[in-house]
Amino acid sequence: MEHQTGPELMIEAHQLRRTFGQRQAVADLSLSVRRGEIFGLLGPNGAGKTTTIRLLSGQIIPDSGWARVAGCDVVHEPLRLKQQIGIVFEEQNLYERLTARMNLRFTCWLYGLPEKRIDEVLTLVDLRDRAREPVGKFSQGLKQRLLIARALLHKPAVLFLDEPGRGLDPISAHTVRQVIRRLSEEGTTILLTTHLMEEADQLCQRVAFIVNGRLVANDTPRHLKLQHGKRLLQVTLEEQQDHARRLCDITLKLDDVSDQQRLARWLSEGKVRALHTQEASLEEVFFHVAGVPLS
Q: How high is the pLDDT of residue 3? A: 42
Per-residue pLDDT of the chain (295 residues; tens, 9 = 90+): 334 444 589 999 999 999 999 999 999 999 999 999 999 999 988 899 999 999 999 999 999 999 999 999 999 999 999 999 999 998 778 999 999 999 999 999 999 999 999 999 999 999 999 999 999 999 999 999 999 999 999 999 999 999 998 888 888 899 999 999 999 999 999 999 998 888 899 999 999 999 999 999 999 998 898 887 677 777 788 876 666 677 788 877 767 788 788 888 888 888 877 877 767 788 888 888 887 766 6
How far is Cα 150 from Cα 147, in angstroms, rounded to an integer? 5
**Helix, strand, or coil here: 114?**
coil
Beta-sheet strands, E only, within 97-149: none
How far is Cα 38 from Cα 47, in angstroms, rounded to an integer? 20
End-to-end CA, the chain:
40
Instruction: Tally DSSP H helices, then E strands, for the chain.
Output: 10, 13
Q: How high is the pLDDT of residue 98? A: 97
DSSP state of 279: P
Q: How high is the pLDDT of residue 48? A: 95
Task: Tell me the pTM.
Answer: 0.83
How far is Cα 236 from Cα 257, in angstroms, rounded to an integer? 19
180, 203 contact by CB (below 8 A)? yes
Distances (CA, A) of 11 to 33, 70, 117, 198, 245: 5, 6, 25, 24, 60
Beta-sheet strands, E only, within 109-230: 158-162, 189-194, 206-211, 214-219
DSSP state of 106: H
Q: How high is the pLDDT of residue 132? A: 97
Best CA proximity match to 228, nearest among 277, 287, 275: 287
Cβ contacts of residue 122 below 8 Å, gap of 6+? 100, 101, 104, 128, 131, 149
Q: How high is the pLDDT of residue 227? A: 81
Q: How high is the pLDDT of residue 287? A: 86
